[in-house]
Amino acid sequence: MLRSLWLFSFLLLAGWLPAQFGGGTVTIDSLSSPRLDNAFGEPTTRAMSVYLPPGYATSTVRYPVIYYLHGFLNDHTLTVEMIATLDEAIAAERIPPFILVVSDSKTQVDGSFYSNSGFGNLEDYLAYDLVKHMDANYRTRPDRLSRGVTGHSMGGYGALKLAMRHPDVFSSVYALSPGALTVVGEYGPNSDTYRELAGITTMDELLKSYFPKVIVAFGRAWSPNPNKPPFYADIPFAYDADGLLVVDPAVLDKWYAEMPVHMIDAYRENLRSLTAIKLDWGRNAGDRFVRQCEMFSQRLENAGVAHFAEEYIGTHTSDIFTPGGRVSTDMLPFFAEYLEFAAE
- One-letter amino acid at 188 equals G
Peptide bond into 230 cis (omega under 30): yes
Sheet with 172-176, side-by-side order of all strands? 3-6, 25-32, 45-52, 99-103, 65-69, 147-152, 172-176, 276-282, 308-312
Tell me: do 82 and 191 sit in the same domain: no
Compute the distance between CA of residue 203 and CA of residue 155 in angstroms, rounded to an integer. 24
Tell me: do 271 and 171 sit in the same domain: yes
Which one of 214, 236, 254 terminates a domain?
254
* pTM tops 0.85: yes
For residue 66, is it within any domain?
yes
Which one of 229, 254, 279 terminates a domain?
254
State which residues form the domain around 131.
3-182+260-338
Number of folded domains in the chain? 2
Which one of 225, 254, 283 terminates a domain?
254
Tell me: do 239 and 269 sit in the same domain: no
| 19 has pLDDT over 70 | no
* C-alpha angle 336-278-323 in degrees, rounded to nearest 5: 55
Return contacts of 240-246, CB within 8 angstroms, 24+ apart: 245/189, 245/194
Q: What is the pLDDT of residues 119-169, one digit of tens each?
A: 999 999 999 999 999 999 999 999 999 999 999 999 999 999 999 999 999
For residue 264, the domain's CATH number is 3.40.50.1820
Tell me: do 139 and 58 sit in the same domain: yes
- Picking from 238, 234, 186, 192, the residue whose alpha carbon sits closest to that of residue 214 is 186
Contact between residue 315 and residue 284 where contact means Cβ atoms under 8 Å apart: yes
| 4 has pLDDT over 50 | no
| 16 has pLDDT over 50 | no
- Band (344; pLDDT cuts 50, 70, 90): low
What b/e sequence results for 221-249 when a residue is b if at least 16 CB atoms lie within 10 Å of its CB, and e otherwise? bbbbeeeeeebbbbbbbbeeeeeeeeeee
Report in angstroms the alpha-carbon separations of 34 from 31, 38, 133, 224, 298. 10, 9, 14, 19, 38
For residue 305, is it within any domain?
yes
Compute the distance between CA of residue 159 and CA of residue 161 in angstroms, rounded to an integer. 5
- Band (63; pLDDT cuts 50, 70, 90): very high
Tell me: do 13 and 150 sit in the same domain: yes
Q: What is the pLDDT of residues 261-291, one digit of tens each?
A: 999 999 999 999 999 999 999 999 988 899 9
For residue 343, is it within any domain?
no
Tell me: do 165 and 203 sit in the same domain: no
| The pLDDT of residue 102 | 98
Q: What is the pLDDT of residues 284-341, one digit of tens each?
A: 998 889 999 999 999 999 999 999 999 999 999 999 998 889 999 999 999 999 999 9
Percent above pLDDT 70 for the chain: 93
Report the DSSP pairing between strands 147-152 and 65-69. Answer: parallel
Report in angstroms the alpha-carbon separations of 96 from 20, 272, 296, 333, 335. 18, 26, 31, 9, 10
Average pLDDT over residues 178-182: 97
